[in-house]
């Protein structure tokens, strides 16, 4: 029987006796993997050895799009290919990342070779069945044990309609079955985004080349990923001709975001964050184990295989104080534990000047990924001399943290895509940094 990292909930029946703060990750395995009743295709099992080059294409196969129509020049919106490519994680270890490339049927009329947009998905969960590439094939998946929704498909299809090719990353460990997804790890996510752009060039039938302009699109978790990628691109991927980045509602300051999501509808994301932190830095495990009670260990194991829909129903409005031995919140523990605080500080986005234009948008009523810390990212970049376009999305408070966060995603999406399209056609951005010292 192949090793799996999915039989976790049952494995924590004696969690209070365990010294491990979250489940171990199985070694790479060629057999079938099942997560909450969903069989993960064998394509997502990484090989034992990976290529040396970052962005190298490991394997690919045709990916059927659930939402596709026949067209004169080919299927609409295009032909999709499932990908696995090599990246490097924050500990400088090789990692296999999955995703999808879509060659659009629409023509590119913006001049120059067809451009490429890398889509960094927002929060989807931590179970491999939640991966964005699977969401293109199954936009809504529900089996009574898990529910995944490919809500990023709308942005992907809108970009394809512009004639831009799209590559979407699943991030490290989301889809690929050999490790846990390192949720909101800025380096892991940034590298996965930039290496997706590299991998797209080698897809059979792709029209994008090394000369194709590249833009990044992301909201929420995706906004943090694209923001980090914009910062790291000059050093990590100077061969990627980046011309613009959209970072919507970026979680730039995880200390503030951790405090905000605790007790909210999306409190489960706190478990995904902790799981990701412990996957990234195993030295934090004994510290976490000293503070987590049996309920906390069970929650982290349970959440490690959940998608957003599962977490909303199972852990919505949960307070982290119920997961700890002394009733402290996770934020309290982080603040009082130097090693935890240092790790979160190392994840801060806004310390490096992006070399290319960036557009930061945040809802003024967003109290899930707090508006103030997202706006502060734009301020920090402006102070470093970056070309920043900042947009405060003014929507009324809806009485729900989740809706306050999700509303700007849809309200601003058209403007964000238009801004990126302008960068892909070579039009210069108009920075509004001069207005940033003034509160919106």
CA–CA distance, 119 with 166 (Å, rounded to integer): 7
Same domain, residue pair 153 and 207: yes
pLDDT at 74: 79
Same domain, residue pair 265 and 221: no
CA–CA distance, 134 with 140 (Å, rounded to integer): 10
- Residue ending a domain, among 295, 319, 346, is 346
Same domain, residue pair 298 and 420: no
In a domain, 11, yes or no: no
- Residue ending a domain, among 289, 322, 346, is 346
Q: Give me the DSSP letters along 165-201.
A: EEEEEEEETSSSTTS---TT-HHHHHHHHHHHHHHHT
CATH assignment of the domain containing 105: 3.40.50.1820
What the block records as the tokens of 158 is: 């809108």
Same domain, residue pair 275 and 424: no
Same domain, residue pair 276 and 385: no
Residues 329-367 have pLDDT tens digits of 999 999 999 999 999 999 999 999 999 999 999 999 999
Phi-psi region of 201 (alpha: psi -120 to 50; beta: other; left: phi over 0): alpha
Residues 88-123 have pLDDT tens digits of 999 999 999 999 999 999 999 999 999 999 999 999
- 20, pLDDT greater than 50: no
| Tally of domains within the chain | 2
Q: Are 46 and 178 in contact (CB under 8 A)?
A: yes
CA–CA distance, 213 with 67 (Å, rounded to integer): 27
Residue in the structure block whose two tokens are 């902790």? 274
Measure CA 285 to chain center.
Answer: 23
Same domain, residue pair 88 and 233: yes
pLDDT at 99: 98
| Largest separation between any pair of C-alpha atoms in the chain | 65
Same domain, residue pair 201 and 82: yes
Same domain, residue pair 28 and 125: yes
Counting residues of the chain whose pLDDT is more than 70, the rounded percentage is 92
In a domain, 244, yes or no: yes
Same domain, residue pair 230 and 317: no
Say which range, 68-82, 88-102, 156-170, 322-336, has the weakest mean pLDDT.
68-82
Same domain, residue pair 294 and 418: no
Residues 142-161 have pLDDT tens digits of 999 999 999 999 999 999 99
Q: Which domain holds residue 272?
A: 255-346
Same domain, residue pair 108 and 183: yes
Same domain, residue pair 261 and 242: no
Mean pLDDT for all residues in the chain: 92
Query: Mean pLDDT across the stretch 39-45?
Result: 96
């Amino acid at each position: 029987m192949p090793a799996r990292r999915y039989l976790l909930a049952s494995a924590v029946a004696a969690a209070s006796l365990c010294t491990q703060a979250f489940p171990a990750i199985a070694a790479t395995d060629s057999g079938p993997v099942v997560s909450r009743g969903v069989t993960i295709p064998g394509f997502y099992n990484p090989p034992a050895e990976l290529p040396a080059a970052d962005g190298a294409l490991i394997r690919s196969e045709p990916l059927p799009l659930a939402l596709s129509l026949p067209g004169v020049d080919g299927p609409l919106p295009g032909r999709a290919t499932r990908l696995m490519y090599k990246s490097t994680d924050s500990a400088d270890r090789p990692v296999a990342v999955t995703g999808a490339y879509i060659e659009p049927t629409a023509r590119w009329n913006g001049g120059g070779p067809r451009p490429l947009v890398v889509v960094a998905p927002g929060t989807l969960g931590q179970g491999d069945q939640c991966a964005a590439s699977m969401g293109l094939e199954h936009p809504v998946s529900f089996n009574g044990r898990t529910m995944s929704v490919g809500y990023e498909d709308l942005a992907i299809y809108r970009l394809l309609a512009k004639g831009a090719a799209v590559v979407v990353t699943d991030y490290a460990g989301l889809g690929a079955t050999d490790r846990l997804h390192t949720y909101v790890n800025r380096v892991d996510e940034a590298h996965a985004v930039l290496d997706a752009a590299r991998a797209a060039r080698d897809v059979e039938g792709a029209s994008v080349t090394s000369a194709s302009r590249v833009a990044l699109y992301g909201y929420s978790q995706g906004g943090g990923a694209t923001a980090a990628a914009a910062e790291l691109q000059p050093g990590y991927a100077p061969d990627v001709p980046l011309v613009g980045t959209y970072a919507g509602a970026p979680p730039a300051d995880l200390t503030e975001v951790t405090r905000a999501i605790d007790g909210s509808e999306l409190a489960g994301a706190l478990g995904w964050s902790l799981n990701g932190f412990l996957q990234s830095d195993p030295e934090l495990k004994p510290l976490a184990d000293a503070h987590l009670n049996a309920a906390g260990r069970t929650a982290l194991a349970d959440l490690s295989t959940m998608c957003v829909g599962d977490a909303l129903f199972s852990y919505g409005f949960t307070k982290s104080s119920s997961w700890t031995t002394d009733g402290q919140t996770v934020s309290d523990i982080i603040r009082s534990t130097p090693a935890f605080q240092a790790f979160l500080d190392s994840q801060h986005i806004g310390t490096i000047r992006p070399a290319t234009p960036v557009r930061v948008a945040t809802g003024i009523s967003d109290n899930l990924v707090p508006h103030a810390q997202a706006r502060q990212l734009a301020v920090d970049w402006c102070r470093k001399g970056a070309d920043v376009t900042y947009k405060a999305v003014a929507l009324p408070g809806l009485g729900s943290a989740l809706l306050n966060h999700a509303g700007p995603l849809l309200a601003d999406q058209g403007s964000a895509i238009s801004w990126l399209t302008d960068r892909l056609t070579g039009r210069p951005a108009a920075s509004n940094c001069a207005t940033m010292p003034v509160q919106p």
